[in-house]
Amino acid sequence: MQYQLIGDSDCPLVKVNLAQGETIRLERGSMVYMSDVTLEGKMNSKGAGIGGLLGAIGRSLTSGESMFISEATGVGPRAEIGIAPSVPGKIVALSVGAAQYRLNTGAYLASDQTVNYNMVSQNVGKAFFGGTGGFFVMETAGQGDLLVNAFGDLMEIDVTPDRPMVIDNEHVVAWDARLDYNIRIASGTFGFTTGEGLVNEFHGAGKVLIQTRNLHSLAEAVSPYLPSKGN
């Protein structure tokens, strides 16, 4: 995938140049413009027919993903498509192959057609308490380029066996699939009852990508200023 980040560094757009016949996958609704490109919506499932439909519904219900995903294919010598995420923030590319990654809900933007993913089950405690994809979480497979997006800036944190890392689960974007993790309450019962104070504790060796802002905190900050339904 030949791509370029253009525009403001805080709210970039990705310009992707496609060879004729080359296909990439992208998050549904992320297309901004295109030329000499066909865009096709497909069920977010490896199967076809009823089985594929049920698989797409299952992924949507268990992980919060969209039931559909888009595929863009170049149909001319100068095929180009511009894509952007739904929230303002940084976009980075991950090289999938030597390392595989697990992605939090909403982190996926686009990838080569050679990059696939599986839904990996989490234990009940992780799924119930955490914000990392519900009962299932996306884990990449294959090899190629993967674009992920964040709300705000995106930073990389290294986890080593002698230096585990505790990260607020609303700020986790993606992490090395080789890392082990658990989700716990940071402190006190107040955090438990309000949904605050939940953290991911990562162990092992690998990197974690974090975002500097989170949507839940923004929603809580602006909600007092929004008109009520009665107004």
Q: 104 pLDDT exceeds 80? A: yes
- Residue 90, SS3 per DSSP: coil
What is the per-residue pLDDT across 44-82, written as a single tens digit (0 to 9) for each?
A: 655 444 444 444 444 444 444 555 789 999 999 999 999
**Residue 136 confidence class, pLDDT cut points 50, 70, 90:** confident
Q: Does domain 2-222 have CATH number 1.20.990.10?
A: no
Domain ranges of the chain: 2-222
186 pLDDT exceeds 50? yes
**CB of 63 closer than 8 Å to CB of 131:** no
pLDDT confidence band for 9 (50 / 70 / 90): confident
pLDDT of 79 reads: 98
Q: Give residue 109's identity as a one-letter amino acid code.
A: L
Type of residue found at 157: I
Q: What is the structure's pLDDT at 49?
A: 44
pLDDT class of 216 with cuts at 50, 70, 90: confident
Q: Which two tokens stand for residue 35?
A: 């030329």
Amino acid at 183: I
What's the alpha-carbon Rg for the chain, to the nearest Å?
A: 19
- Per residue in 80-90, pLDDT (tens digit) is 999 999 999 99
pLDDT at 46: 55
> In 10 A of CB 34, how many CB atoms?
17
